[in-house]
């Protein structure tokens, strides 16, 4: 059995979890999420904790699925209770972002503004040059952040572009620096 799968998941106050027809559902005031449990994995809810274990006839692939199932359920419970966020930073002259409703408008050096509509359950906030993506589904928050970053990834010469807050961009020397050192 996976070491991670042995750790029970604690259900926070204000969050409810139930198993219906091989699907586990977690809900709170923020929203609800569900996950289909694999056939060879057994999930039980008791005393405010969720326990993941293997069924009797477990093979090696089942052991792999235990850790995955436990992580997915833990992310669901954390998402509906606290939520997830990712922050992106705009760096470049004239690079701007603004939000109107659920549409994020980016001015990142193209001849036209780029508009991104928030998927269901995702919200955007912008303060100065930082975009914050908020939501209860960890996968959707991460994918949305990656899609926004993909519009103008940071380039290695000047560092202009959209990057995650705290991300380090490996810088390269330009042609002028190479020419000076090549004498």
Domains present along the chain, CATH in parentheses: 3-82 (3.90.930.12), 84-164 (3.90.930.12)
Mean pLDDT of 140-154: 96
pLDDT at position 182 is 58
Distance, in Å, from the CA atom of 89 to the CA atom of 109, rounded to the nearest integer, reads 15
Q: Are 135 and 121 in contact (CB under 8 A)?
A: yes
pLDDT at position 1 is 55
Least confident of 37-46, 50-59, 110-119: 50-59
Most confident of 2-6, 57-61, 150-154: 150-154
pLDDT greater than 90 at residue 175: no
Distance, in Å, from the CA atom of 80 to the CA atom of 68, rounded to the nearest integer, reads 19
pLDDT greater than 70 at residue 181: no
Assign 138 to helix, strand or coil: helix
Q: What percent of the chain has pLDDT over 90?
A: 68
Find how far residue 20's CA is from the centre of its chain. 26
Angle, alpha carbons 39-43-49 (nearest 5°)? 165
The mean pLDDT value of the chain amounts to 90
Query: Can you tell me which residue has the tokens 């093979």?
Result: 59
Distance, in Å, from the CA atom of 19 to the CA atom of 104, rounded to the nearest integer, reads 36
Q: Are 119 and 72 in contact (CB under 8 A)?
A: no
Assign 167 to helix, strand or coil: coil
Q: How confident is the model at residue 183 (pLDDT cuts 50, 70, 90)?
A: low
pLDDT at position 90 is 94
Mean pLDDT of 49-78: 87
Q: What is the DSSP letter of 172?
A: -
């Amino acid at each position: 059995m996976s070491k991670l799968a042995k750790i029970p998941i604690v259900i926070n106050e204000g969050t409810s979890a139930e198993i219906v027809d091989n699907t586990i559902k977690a809900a709170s005031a923020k929203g609800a999420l569900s996950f289909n449990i694999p056939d060879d994995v057994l999930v039980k809810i008791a005393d405010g904790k969720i326990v993941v274990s293997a069924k009797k006839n477990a093979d090696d692939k089942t052991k792999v699925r235990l850790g995955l199932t436990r992580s997915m359920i833990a992310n669901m419970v954390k998402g509906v209770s606290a939520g997830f966020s990712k922050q992106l930073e705009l760096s470049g002259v004239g690079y701007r972002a603004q939000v109107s409703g659920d549409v994020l408008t980016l001015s990142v050096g193209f001849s036209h503004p780029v508009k991104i509509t928030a998927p269901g359950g995702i919200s955007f906030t912008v303060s100065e040059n930082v975009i914050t993506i908020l939501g209860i589904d960890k996968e959707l928050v991460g994918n949305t952040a990656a899609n926004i970053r993909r519009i103008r990834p940071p380039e290695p010469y000047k560092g202009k572009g959209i990057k995650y807050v705290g991300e380090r961009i490996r810088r390269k020397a330009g042609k002028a620096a190479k020419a000076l050192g090549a004498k």
